Amino acid sequence: MPLYQMLCIAVHYPEYQHIKQLVQQTATHVMNSGGAVRTLNSWGTLTLPQRMRRHKVYHQRGDYWTMHFDTSPHTLQSLNKLMRQDPRVIRWTVLNLGSKVENVASEGQKAVKGDSQTYADVIDQCT
């Protein structure tokens, strides 16, 4: 399975239950489809580089987070559909970090050993 990295900008709400639910939903979707979530990182709330419109609403602040995961291309298509329909998501992008065993091993090792937090740490911070 290829290794992917997703960067997501979510709508900023004063309470973090919305971002927590979004992260849980995304990670659960990947894991229920046979994929593996390697890391989740929260970058916090930042001002957007420009005013962005999504679902007929303009946004100036967003909650940034990333996820490294392994999954099949079919699951990636369904994940993109899920993100497109979710009103909590402003923008997202998915990068393919590698599909060969050698690339996945080296990039996966960087993702796991980097200054990243575990899934449980990110969820605990959101509570």
Report the CATH number at residue 80. Answer: 3.30.70.60
CB atoms under 10 Å from CB of 2, counted, come to 17
Measured in degrees and rounded to the nearest 5, phi and psi for residue 118 equal: -80, 170
Structural domain includes residue 111: yes
Cross-strand bridge partners of residue 117: 40
Instruction: Give the mean pLDDT per block of 10 residues along the chain (127 residues).
Output: 91 90 95 93 94 93 94 93 95 87 62 56 55
Structural domain includes residue 123: no
For the beta sheet containing 57-70, the strands, ordered from the edge strand earlier in sequence to the opposite edge, are 36-54, 57-70, 3-11, 89-98
For residue 64, what is the enclosing H or E element? strand 57-70
pLDDT in tens, 28-47: 999 999 999 999 999 999 99
pLDDT in tens, 88-104: 999 999 998 877 666 65
Q: Which two tokens stand for residue 107?
A: 């990039």
Structural domain includes residue 127: no
Q: Total structural domains in the chain?
A: 1
Q: How far apart are CA 57 and CA 63, in angstroms?
A: 16
Print the domain residue range for 60. Answer: 3-115
